[in-house]
Copies of this chain bind each other. A is one copy, B any other.
């Protein structure tokens, strides 16, 4: 952990620029402020625009900057802790969760989801679309895959589509007893559709949380939730108020 190791790693130009920019953000800019355009910034720091762009991308990854559609690059507020464990991904449709169902259709799930659900190839499942709002801001978009066998009593007279259909499916799901859940978190890039919902540019980095719900000894539902990586810190079993970047790490 000495400085020897650090010195032996050649420091890329954008990395140094990032450090300089971080200091400028701390001292000259306030949260929400719009940064000068790339050309002006590159000129001010005497770097090529490609170098500047790399440094800005780093700072976006670390949650210091936000690129906002039609606004430009702004100084980001601290990330918000969003509960993702048992508190945040309760049995879908349970009273009091902060997920809003918006739609429900029948689709053939992606192969990886079909594997988890153990559905047949080409078999359609109920796919409920939900969105999660935290502190007034959209933080996650979810696709919840539910095999027809998990909600066998869904009546033909229930709403055929839309949010009403979604609520009917979730209401039926509540008849099952939740026995357990497991989860995985990984990095992804946001689809055009989710990007719109989350107010991001398509392809922006997101944290993808896959939750498998067990009931009756099998997988009763699978949730694939896309969280904004710029504004969210996913918390498990409590909220840790921490905001760090390498520049604040011990060396």
Docked pose: A248 CA to B116 CA in angstroms = 14
A143 contact from B85, B194, B205, B249, Cβ within 8 A: B249
Docked pose: A6 CA to B103 CA in angstroms = 14
- Is A9 in contact with B196, judged by CB distance below 8 angstroms? yes
Report B-chain residues with C-beta under 8 Å of the C-beta of A75.
none
- Is B185 in contact with A234, judged by CB distance below 8 angstroms? yes
- Is A61 in contact with B9, judged by CB distance below 8 angstroms? no
Docked pose: A105 CA to B1 CA in angstroms = 8
Docked pose: A57 CA to B189 CA in angstroms = 9
- Is B9 in contact with A113, judged by CB distance below 8 angstroms? no
Which of A63, A111, A193, A233 is most buried by chain B, counting CB atoms within 10 A of its CB? A193
Which of A85, A196, A234 is most buried by chain B, counting CB atoms within 10 A of its CB? A234
Q: Which residue of chain B has the shortest Cβ distance to A112 in the bound complex? A: B242
For residue A164, give the distance in angstroms from its CB to the closest CB of chain B. 14
8 residue pairs of the A-B complex, CB under 8 angstroms, read A6-B192, A110-B244, A112-B241, A116-B240, A182-B235, A186-B233, A187-B230, A207-B207
Docked pose: A108 CA to B76 CA in angstroms = 26
Is A40 an interface position by the 8 A CB rule? no
Docked pose: A190 CA to B136 CA in angstroms = 31
Name the segment of A11-19, A30-38, A91-99, A171-179 touching the other chain. A11-19
- Is B12 in contact with A109, judged by CB distance below 8 angstroms? no
Report B-chain residues with C-beta under 8 Å of the C-beta of A90.
none
Report B-chain residues with C-beta under 8 Å of the C-beta of A2.
105
- Is A15 in contact with B182, judged by CB distance below 8 angstroms? no
Is A236 an interface position by the 8 A CB rule? yes
For residue A66, give the distance in angstroms from its CB to the closest CB of chain B. 13
Docked pose: A195 CA to B235 CA in angstroms = 25
A183 contact from B1, B103, B240, Cβ within 8 A: B240
Q: Which residue of chain B has the shortest Cβ distance to A127 in the bound complex? A: B250
Report B-chain residues with C-beta under 8 Å of the C-beta of A84.
185
- Is B187 in contact with A248, judged by CB distance below 8 angstroms? no
- Is B113 in contact with A184, judged by CB distance below 8 angstroms? no
Docked pose: A203 CA to B14 CA in angstroms = 9
Report B-chain residues with C-beta under 8 Å of the C-beta of A196.
5, 8-9
Report B-chain residues with C-beta under 8 Å of the C-beta of A150.
none
Known contacts A9-B196, A248-B111; is-contact A212 B240 (Cβ 8 Å): yes
